[in-house]
Amino acid sequence: MTTASNASISYQDSIPEPIRLPDRPGEMPSHLFVHGGLAPVSCRALDLSDTAVGWQPIRNGATLRALRQEGQPLWVQIRGLGDRPLLEDLLSGLHLDHELWPLLLDAPQQARVDSFPQAVLVVLHQFSLASNQVHLISEQIALLLVNDLLISIHENPRSDFSDLEAWIQSLEAPESDLDLDNLLHYLIDEVLDTQLPMLEIMRSSFDDLEEAALMRPKPSLLNRAFQLRMNLRRTRRQLWPLRNQLIRLLRQSQRLLGPGARQGLHEMAEHVNTLLDIGEQIQRQADAVTDAYLASTGNRMNQIMKTLTIVSTIFAPLTFIAGIYGMNFENMPELKWKYGYAYSLLLMTIIAALQAYFLWRRGWFQDWTGGRQGKRLP
């Protein structure tokens, strides 16, 4: 690892503008909602050359400036974006060019992986589902790798990499087993690993919705399926740029990335491909839910129309007979028959029975009675 320079990292001509999103990819985490969207800022640093010391709390940029002057590899973790002056003071203490600040601090941004002459920038969105498994929650994480320094900026103050941090502090010789470039792809892997369980929950939800659409189709099923489909679309929209950008990063001669980190980033690109493939499968499941609902409602409508047809077919001739003898003309001898009323009722009963028998023979009552053909099945 090279020693950090006190001079500011300057490569303004190669730094693009942040790609701001008009809306958050998901809903706000509860800890951000409590603070109105911008949580209080906290900062800590870990010296990777001596992890036994543990995390050191940082209160201002001067403390970071002193740590940087020691020339040891540092992982600086900043949580919360609620105090912009403090954030800028911390980044200034790390000798970062001002042009990089918006890329780290602006939220929400489009997910991206960028390589600069002296830095690697990664912006990710970590997704999770609320307890009702319908509402999508997102939080932005920005990672920046420079000489002997890795910065992670978390939008959510409760966000952490506890498992990874515990593993780092358990290493006996972290200086030989963990370089900052390797730590970068470990952090990316941690974020991507959270997506797979969420996608599996979506897959299970669509399975349940498809079954319900076939058994008990209700309009509320479509509303739930639409919400899940929107969550899936938002997730895929943030994963899609990472695939090509990771491959492009691997093709560049970025001196900050060693062979181990390049291999890890290649695995990350394959991981993103896997997540996108799973997303496509779930998308087909979402389409299947809609098709199942439309088929079920269409079948139910057909049954209703069949019922109306049966009733109309049976009562149409009865209505015709009643209409004829309801005209009450004087020259209608049937009106003077002693048993004319009984004869007309008997005639209507016979006609209705013949009509019902004919429809039954044609299989129109099979959804009510099980059908003649259904009884013959083994």
pLDDT-flagged residues of the chain (< 70): 1-14, 30-37, 51-53, 171-177, 367-378
Tens digit of each residue's pLDDT (9 = 90 or more) over 229-251:
999 999 998 888 888 888 888 88
Outline which parts of the chain fall under CATH 3.30.460.20: 14-170
Q: What is the CATH number of domain 14-170?
A: 3.30.460.20
Contacts of 58 (CB under 8 A, 6+ apart): 43, 44, 45, 64, 76, 90
Q: What is the CATH number of domain 298-370?
A: 1.20.58.340
- Asked whether the bond before 102 is cis by omega within 30 degrees of 0, the reply is no
pTM of the model: 0.76
CA 144 to chain centre: 26
So what's the pLDDT on residue 52?
A: 65
DSSP structure string for 357-370:
HHHHHTTTTHHHH-
**CA pair distance 251, 268, nearest whole angstrom:** 14
So what's the pLDDT on residue 4?
A: 41
So what's the pLDDT on residue 31?
A: 65
**CA pair distance 311, 304, nearest whole angstrom:** 11
So what's the pLDDT on residue 299?
A: 83
Backbone phi, then psi, for 375, in 5-degree steps? -70, -20
Mean pLDDT score of the chain, rounded to an integer? 82
Residue 78: what residue type? I
DSSP structure string for 51-97:
GGG--EEE-SHHHHHHHHHTT--EEEEEE--S-HHHHHHHHHHTT--
Outline which parts of the chain fall under CATH 1.20.58.340: 298-370
Backbone phi, then psi, for 20, in 5-degree steps? -75, 145
In this structure, what token pair is assigned to residue 130? 């609320």
So what's the pLDDT on residue 175?
A: 46
**CA pair distance 68, 59, nearest whole angstrom:** 15
